Structure 1
């Protein structure tokens, strides 16, 4: 994907396609049409065909797509064959929930280190993941060569922790705080505001019945 210029909207849909193709493969299905994919993932078939067209000829007219080949292609595109180690900063209620989640939908993602300012948590192992004092963040991220981090800290700590992560060499941050952190151009940030998403859903329910 690094060598391809594809729209961000398309890139966001690739994991969705991959997970469903993996489900089809595990269930023994050998081929699938864009219409079938559309019904399953709730993306219109024209969009699916356009998304796929960025990667060349992935299917055959009148036949559809070979499930195994397409699954393997998107798996390789998404680096599913490479294990990505992730740091979790902030082991409060949300952080603990993420540790429990273990990212079952992907075998290529693993939270390998967690950090927290609470001295009662630092030094423990939770859900198989070592929790370090936040004072060791820069050192551990560098030593473990971690490039992706999840941020679930209090608002006031978001930017200072982000600065430490950047110092340690982090290249991508999933930010669960409501603060919009500032990072260099070469550090990607994905903001996930659960309250905002819920409020948006409630708004749509109230105004688009």
Structure 2
């Protein structure tokens, strides 16, 4: 039987057989403003409520900014950080060479079951083009052996049909969830979610409208 980790996204688990495969690496991809970072934080927050420690590493935002943003949802990460059940950390680009070691250390230090990296796109940008596939493959395999289930955000241009920044990442991850933002919508929600790939999972194949509410990301009835 495949062990699973609940996504924490309202309405998503029933579409992916009750959660992400344990220890899998999943890509959360989309353009600006689609909710990628919120998705990752909601995943970590849900785990904390279930007694599962979590690590969130950002390559773009300082922890103070992140903590201020999640106040809207009432997610009190500070309480869990003080109890050493959660780590929210910013790493600069000059630290990327040490990223695998840092991630492994942070996960082990609190025995985390959930890990989020925001964003994989910056990691890929530092790779040698000729070695990118190999380096990213090694990086992702390392994540699979940490004992944590991982979500990695990935940036794509507006209206792009691509699934990742460099066209390599989608072949190496276990799951892909695409978040979209429609420019103009008459009624309904402008945001949507597609489960593009999920290994060892019979998943939903529709386009699912989503909303960002006080409870976080919520999936509505399919279009």
In terms of Rg, which structure is larger?
A: 1
Higher helix share goes to which structure?
1
Greater RCO structure (CA 8 Å; 6+ sep): 2
Query: TM class by shorter-chain length?
Result: 0.3 to 0.5
* Structure having the larger proportion of residues in strand: 2
